[in-house]
Amino acid sequence: MAKHVLITGASSGIGKQLSIDYASQGWHVYACGQNLDRLEALGMVSERITPLAFDVCNLESVTAAMASLTEMPELIILNAGTCEYIEHGKVDVALFRRIYEVNIFGVLNCIEALQPRFSDKTHLVLIGSSASYLPLPRAEAYGSSKAALAYIANTLAIDLERDGVTVSLVSPGFVKTPLTDKNDFAMPMLVSPEFASEQIMQGINEKKKEIHFPKKFSLFLKTLSLLPIGLQLAAVKRMTGKTS
């Protein structure tokens, strides 16, 4: 009997590649996103891919979409996300709201809508970012949203364990996607969506609590995060050319 996986943010980037790769391994994929045209094109790749269009920021839309599922997916990958940067430390509350609505509340909307159907076979995967490890210039909104997501994932891993639910956090480095194509700065150790999908699927198969890659990059940032905050800030300023 085919297993089922639900993937948000499936119209492009990591989510699209995960949809293709899981379908190729015999899974039935609920490929979720807002762009119906892209999702339908993705559905043409494999008969195992079912497009499902809804807005993660709208709880009613999410709830209706989840109620339409004919089978409860054993694997739920909440990948939908967005990114904008702050300029010169100027706080823009509207920008923060846009980021948080997708990266935090979009994820929580999906969890709330699906949670009544969780079972001891459920594996919940949240896509965070290695940007949550350190304070990075211009990433006040994006980085803090992913740091919140990491906290949510780790606490849910504790609270849902008694129900047999597995929770994993994915903390990728830079992955070449339409979102990162907009970045106007160097992206060290940039990896392909294919590499990212392979790493994520391997980590999920092994039921890892955190899946981070590329290892050389993520372990370097993790090591820096162990330093006192003053040394962290000094290291980040040196790496990003922000020294005065």
Residue 196 sits in a domain whose CATH number is 3.40.50.720
In a domain, 64, yes or no: yes
- Let me know if residue 153 belongs to a domain: yes
- The reported pTM is 0.94
Q: What is the structure's pLDDT at 189? A: 85
Q: Any idea what DSSP says for residue 45? A: T
3-state DSSP percent of the chain in helix, strand and coil, to 5 = 50, 15, 35
Inside any domain, residue 230: no
Amino acid 243: pLDDT: 56
pLDDT of amino acid 83: 93
Buried b (16+ CB within 10 A) or exposed e, 43-62: beebebbbbbbbbbbebebb
Question: Tokens representing 82?
Answer: 């967005």
In a domain, 181, yes or no: yes
In a domain, 138, yes or no: yes
Domain range for residue 102?
4-216
Q: How many residues does the chain have?
A: 244
Q: Say if residues 176 and 191 touch (Cβ distance below 8 Å).
A: yes
Structural domain count, the chain? 1
Q: Say if 143 falls within a structural domain.
A: yes
Rounded to 5°, angle at Cα 143 from 32 and 238: 140
The one-digit pLDDT tens for each residue of the chain (244 residues) are 779 999 999 999 999 999 999 999 999 999 999 999 999 999 999 999 999 999 999 999 999 999 999 999 999 999 999 999 998 889 999 999 999 999 999 999 999 999 999 999 999 999 999 999 999 899 999 999 999 999 999 999 999 999 999 999 999 998 988 778 787 777 788 899 999 999 999 999 999 999 999 999 999 999 999 999 999 999 999 988 875 5
Confidence (pLDDT) at 178: 79
CA-based max dimension of the chain: 61
The H or E element spanning position 79 is: none
Describe the crossing of helices 36-43 and 13-24 by its angle, rounded to 10 degrees: 20
How do beta strands 28-33 and 4-7 pair?
A: parallel
Q: Does residue 233 sit within a domain?
A: no
* Residue at 21 is within a domain: yes
Q: What local confidence, expressed as pLDDT, does residue 26 receive?
A: 97
